[in-house]
């Protein structure tokens, strides 16, 4: 028995958003009497952290602490329109819409503050502490007091609306040219594997991931996205299947209690790096990275298996049976070549 080591890499670029009639998303924002800004969306957070990221976008735009922002994803009956959580579009489309809504709300917030403080709105600023202040002076008002004054003194609603839409790109008939997305993120994954040439078992030892994401609005969450996606790619490559690869169907999984996925002992050592090249169209330069994180690990593992033992696996999952059959085929070819030479 020999444990053969190999290294493989794969690169990918992935589009943000689609070319579906503009692919729009809308956002509404309003301040309560206590100074909490409520963002109303129909966009769904699938666990990728959309609510956190759009709260950051709103807080940054308003110039207020993130504790003053509440995200309400509601539902499609009561919320503003959103095309959906797909095509890695959430952060890009919804983030832009929220920034637009918060920009409108900020202008009203400063107008009301100007009335309260009896100054010009152009002389006001925010510093993220919750206060609206006069530039170069001690005069200021807290957002809670301002929101109360807006409602009960001035009879005004501090609110804003935003809709981000990429104009639909029509195909040029003569060339097929079009602009199908808003921007593209890029990535490369390197996988190091060990292949047991007696059993065909593949173990992924280490994975190195480098992702160019435009701007990492939340670096910790973006890294979790990359490493969670690497786990999914590993799972697709070596474990997951709904079809049997044994001789009979009754050997295959019948429900999710028997469905194979990597456990803690199967997760390799991971090293992840984020590169920032801001996109002109993205919220603070961000691109979408959601789906692409599971893509590059699969061919990287396949290439590493080839580097380790010379077997080019072409069907997922890369089961021990498939790898071992590939090794056996190579050995048989070597024997035939040796026999031909000796003859």
Rounded to whole angstroms, how far apart are CA atoms 193 and 191? 6
CB atoms within 10 A of CB 279: 21
Tokens of 232: 């999914």
The DSSP call for residue 246 is S
Cβ contacts of residue 80 below 8 Å, gap of 6+? 26, 27, 28, 40, 41, 42, 163
User: DSSP 3-state assignment of 121?
Assistant: helix
Catalytic residue flag (residue 240): no
Q: Can you count the helices (H) and strands (E) in the chain?
A: 6, 11
Of the candidates 104, 116, 125, 291, the residue annotated as catalytic is: 291
Q: Are strands 37-40 and 25-31 parallel, antiparallel or unpaired?
A: antiparallel
Angle at 45 between CA 44 and CA 47, to 5 degrees: 150
* Listed residue (75, 151, 165) closest to 108, CA to CA: 151
Q: Are 3 and 34 in contact (CB under 8 A)?
A: no
Catalytic residues: 291
């Amino acid at each position: 028995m020999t444990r053969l080591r190999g290294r493989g890499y794969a690169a990918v670029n992935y589009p943000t958003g689609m070319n579906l009639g503009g692919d729009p998303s809308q956002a509404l924002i309003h301040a309560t009497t206590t100074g909490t800004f409520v963002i109303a969306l129909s966009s769904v957070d699938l666990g990728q952290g959309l609510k956190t990221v759009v709260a950051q976008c709103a807080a940054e735009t308003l110039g207020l602490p993130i504790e003053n922002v509440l995200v309400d994803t509601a539902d499609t009956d009561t919320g503003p329109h959103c095309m959906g959580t797909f095509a890695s579009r959430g952060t890009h489309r919804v983030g832009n819409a929220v920034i637009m809504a918060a920009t409108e709300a900020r202008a009203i917030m400063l107008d009301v503050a100007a009335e309260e403080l009896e100054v010009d709105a152009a002389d006001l600023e925010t510093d993220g502490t919750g206060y609206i202040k006069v530039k170069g002076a001690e005069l200021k008002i807290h957002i809670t007091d301002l929101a109360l004054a807006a409602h009960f003194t001035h009879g005004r609603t501090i609110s804003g609306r935003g809709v981000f839409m990429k104009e639909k790109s029509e195909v040029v008939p003569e060339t097929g040219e079009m602009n199908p997305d808003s921007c593209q993120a890029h990535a490369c994954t390197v996988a190091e594997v060990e292949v047991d040439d007696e059993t065909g078992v593949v173990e992924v030892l280490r994975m190195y991931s480098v992702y160019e994401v435009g701007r990492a609005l939340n670096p910790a969450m973006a890294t979790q996205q990359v490493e969670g996606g690497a786990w999914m790619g590993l799972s697709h490559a070596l474990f997951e299947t709904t079809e049997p690869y044994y001789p009979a169907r009754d050997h295959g999984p019948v429900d999710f209690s028997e469905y194979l996925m990597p456990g803690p002992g199967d997760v390799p050592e991971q090293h992840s790096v984020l590169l920032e090249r801001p996109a002109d169209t993205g919220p603070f330069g961000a691109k979408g990275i959601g789906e692409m994180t599971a893509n590059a690990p699969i061919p990287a593992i396949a290439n590493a298996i080839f580097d380790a033992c010379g077997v080019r696996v072409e069907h997922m999952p890369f089961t021990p049976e498939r790898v071992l059959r590939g090794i056996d085929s190579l050995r048989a070819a070597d024997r035939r070549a040796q026999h031909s030479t000796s003859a």
